[in-house]
Amino acid sequence: MENAPFFDDIANGPSGGAAHWLKTCDGLRIRVGHWPLASAKGTAIIFPGRTEFIEKYGDTAAALRDRGYACVAIDWRGQGLADRMIANRGVGHVGHFTDYQNDVSALLDHIQVLDLPKPWFLMAHSMGGCIGLRSLMQGLTVNAAMFSAPMWGIQMSGAVRPFAWGLSEISKRLGFDQTLAPGQSAESFLLRDRFEINPLTNDEEMFDAMRGQLRARPELGLGGPSLRWLNMALREMQQLSRQPSPDMPCLTYLGGKESIVDPLRIRKRMADWPGGQLRFIPEGRHEMMMDRPALRAAVFDDTAAHFEAHR
């Protein structure tokens, strides 16, 4: 195992955290970090969202440690310190959305080498929820899953959706698919937006902490997606929507103030998920694991009880 940088100074996580470089089967270098825990009840495998990185989940790892669980998280290809897919590091890009499953395979092999405590549980946020759903459908060996605002659809107006499909499809054919999607910037919106208009959290302290991480370590930052990423994401979500939910205990959180992913897709999926439970949080925004202390505590207590029930 090759050690990778791990920025404990910004992670605010448990002691003992570490990171390693991994090589995927298609030759990319990605980064995986973990927080061990002696006598853990199991391990939470964290699938982050788009633009995110390992250290952003330090607070989550601390909350889970307090409830008896070790944690592992990943920098997906194209973000964090993992290999970026194109020259412009500020643009989120991927060849095919299923390429993320190569990252999952490398992660699972690494967890085996680390011998992290079983049982394993999936915790997937936003884009990680799309990747995680595909992984579960392909037989990911976890005892239970928790999704936070999963990207099973993207919020768009009826007028914008056909434009997004059409432009992103044409961009592949004409060779400008590495271009930023319309309205996006190569700079993280956390560094551009004010707390008052942010779509992520109700907690100003947590918002400032997320912004502070990027200011301290700008190499972790990522801006908007490319047209190709958009097209591949739309195609993947469409394909997943046509497949039945896996036979897996599942707990999913949806906020009443969600403005990034599509609540209708989440409600439809959970209505048809055998044994699935949907937790609707009226005041929740996109980042319910990074919100006000009382809301966060309720989410982690509920998630820990869910894991305990399926140990």
Q: Which of 88, 108, 141 shows the shortest CA–CA distance to 30?
A: 108
pLDDT > 90? residue 226: yes
- pLDDT at position 158 is 82
What is the C-alpha separation between 2 and 158, in angstroms, rounded? 48
pLDDT > 90? residue 296: yes
What is the C-alpha separation between 114 and 231, in angstroms, rounded? 36
What count of other Cβ atoms lies within 10 Å of the Cβ of residue 205?
Answer: 10
The residues with which 125 forms a beta bridge, in sequence order, are: 148
pLDDT > 90? residue 129: yes
- pLDDT at position 288 is 97
Contact indicator for 185, 223 with CB cutoff of 8 Å: yes
Mean pLDDT of 91-119: 97
What is the C-alpha separation between 127 and 8, in angstroms, rounded? 24
**First and final C-alpha spacing in the chain:** 29
CATH number, residue 170: 3.40.50.1820
**3-state SS string for 5-26:** CCCHHHHCCCCCCEEEEEECCC
Contact indicator for 1, 113 with CB cutoff of 8 Å: yes
Instruction: Work out how many domains the chain is built from and give that number.
Output: 1
277 phi, psi to nearest 5 deg: -125, 130
Residue written as token pair 């990943």: 74
Digit-coded pLDDT (tens) for 172-204: 999 999 999 999 999 999 999 899 999 999 999
pLDDT > 90? residue 275: no
Kindly state the percentage of the chain with pLDDT values over 90.
97
pLDDT > 90? residue 97: yes
What is the C-alpha separation between 61 and 58, in angstroms, rounded? 5
Mean pLDDT of 252-273: 98
What count of other Cβ atoms lies within 10 Å of the Cβ of residue 146?
Answer: 30
What is the C-alpha separation between 153 and 305, in angstroms, rounded? 28
The residues with which 261 forms a beta bridge, in sequence order, are: 154
What is the C-alpha separation between 153 and 259, in angstroms, rounded? 11
157: pLDDT confidence band, cut at 50, 70 and 90? confident
Q: Which of 109, 103, 165, 106 shows the shortest CA–CA distance to 128?
A: 103
161 phi, psi to nearest 5 deg: -60, -50
Mean pLDDT of 34-41: 96
DSSP code, position 219: G
Distances (CA, A) of 137 to 5, 122, 134, 248: 32, 13, 5, 10
Mean pLDDT of 215-227: 98
Domain extent at residue 69: 2-309
What is the C-alpha separation between 122 and 108, in angstroms, rounded? 12
Contacts of 90 (CB under 8 A, 6+ apart): 185, 186, 187, 221, 222, 223
pTM for the model:
0.97
Mean pLDDT of 246-254: 97
Contacts of 269 (CB under 8 A, 6+ apart): 152, 241, 245, 252, 276
